[in-house]
Chain A
Amino acid sequence: MHESVWQIFINAFLANNFVLAMFLGLCPFIGVSGKLETAVPMGAATTFVMLVASLCAYGLNLILGALGLEFLRLIAYIVIIASAVQLVEMVLKKYSPGLFRALGIYLPLITTNCAVLGVALFQTAREYDFAQSLMFAVGAGAGFTLAIVLMASVRERLQLSDVPSVAQGTALSLMLAGVLSLAFMGFAGLGG
């Protein structure tokens, strides 16, 4: 089955949104969606790491496939993602201190974001070629950013409204996520 890169993008971005339809990257989605000003850099940092991880995973998979070492795939992916995050952190620190200050504290968190490993694993399982992998990573990152920004906007509004005190916190966030997820179901079939 051949999917065009646009189909892959739309699917990862909306129809099969990583957070709201596939349940990937929920920890930062719940944890860092309190304010818009932190949600946006978190989304940007995650997208960037996804892109790097996707490229690394694509290259690594070729090497592992050539050597017949597929059973080391998971361990190699997680090590390379952790390394990539660290590398990105060091490069940013040296060449772009401003950006580092904005994204810095989120970078270590991203290592254990399952959405990043998810991108690497899914692109392998679906046997995407280079361009498809790249578009998939961009779509997934954009989808993650969209979800976390939407969530943060709603939660900022909620702070001004009268909510039963017992429902405040994570329970309410999850309910909101449910409503958003319900809305995103309307996108299903879009990338057909």
Chain B
Amino acid sequence: MSSEMNVSVPLPQTTPPLVMIRALGLIAAICGLIIVSAYQGTYDAVQENKRIAVERAVFKVIPTAKSIVEYWALPDGQIEKVGAGGAAQQGAIKFYAGYDERDALAGIAAEGAAKGYADSVRILFAYDPGQQAITGFGVVSSRETPGIGDKIVTDKAFLANFPLDAKVSNDSLANEIRAVKNGSKTSPWQVDAIAGATITSRAVAKAINDTAQALVPRLATHLDKLKDKP
């Protein structure tokens, strides 16, 4: 640290450099000590909080789930438990397998993100392998306009879009999940946009589509393995 700090320091005028370096070294040591102890002291609580937050979000989109297991879906079509050695590869998608009280697969949840009206809208959606459909979603973070864009989670007509068809054909979804103008939904893979919040509705559809296109085909061959809680 001290070498970085010295860059910002002009040549000494009155204090000898050695004294200055000693003082800076001492202060850097004190600060380092404080930061490391704070990091260590809060580490467990922070990890626990993050776990609870993930669980709560997943249980919301998969209502029957009672426990979850985190997986990576790798680009070569394999799946791997998170934390089971191998680090995340480029292009790997994280997903959560939710299990009910009898440890049977209740659904699969994954995150998606797309540009909304104000900033990116990050959502968590649930995929039901039995129905081959997207059954619902929850917002992870969004800065959409209160009272307009945030209707995506309250508007009954919008929520009635689900389940969305997500059948697989070859290596992608059979039909692209996309938003259509309010009142013009004709197929089970289309999202009927909220009138007045078209951009946000489109972001939700795009976020689901982007992740589902890559993730759902990779899951197809592993459903037997995922069926029961490991």
Contacts and interface: CB of A to CB of B under 8 A. Distances in A.
Interface stretch (B70-78, B79-87, B111-119, B158-166): B111-119
Contacts of B5: 79, 83
Given A1-B120, A1-B210, A75-B31, A87 B7 contact: yes
A125 B31 CA distance: 24
B199 interface: yes
Interface residues of B, number: 24
Nearest to B144: A188
B8 A79 contact: yes
Given A71-B35, A75-B31, A86 B114 contact: no
Contact of B117 (A80, A82, A189): A189
A82 B199 contact: no
Contacts of A72: 35
B166 to A, nearest CB: 19
Interface in A77-106: 79-80, 82-83, 86-87
A191 interface: yes
Contacts, number: 48
Interface string B48-84: 0000000000000000000000000000000000000
A23 to B, nearest CB: 13
Given A75-B31, A75-B35, A192-B199, A86 B8 contact: yes
Contacts of B7: 83, 86-87
A162 interface: no
Contacts of B39: 71
A82 B117 CA distance: 35
Interface of A: prevailing SS: helix
A71 B42 CA distance: 12
A172 B88 CA distance: 52
B113 A1 contact: yes
B45 interface: no
Given A79-B1, A79-B5, A80-B4, A189 B35 contact: no
Interface string B116-129: 11111000000000
A145 interface: no
B4 A16 contact: no
A63 B57 CA distance: 33
Nearest to B113: A1
A83 B8 contact: yes
A190 to B, nearest CB: 10
Given A75-B35, A87-B7, A1 B114 contact: yes
A7 interface: yes
Query: 3 closest Cβ contacts across the A-B interface?
Result: A83-B8, A83-B7, A1-B113
Interface of B: 1, 4-5, 7-8, 10, 31, 35-36, 39, 112-120, 199, 202-203, 207, 210
Given A16-B118, A87-B7, 11 more contacts: A7-B115, A71-B36, A72-B35, A75-B31, A79-B1, A82-B8, A83-B4, A83-B8, A86-B7, A189-B116, A192-B116
10 contacts: A1-B115, A16-B119, A71-B36, A71-B39, A75-B31, A79-B8, A82-B8, A188-B118, A192-B117, A192-B203
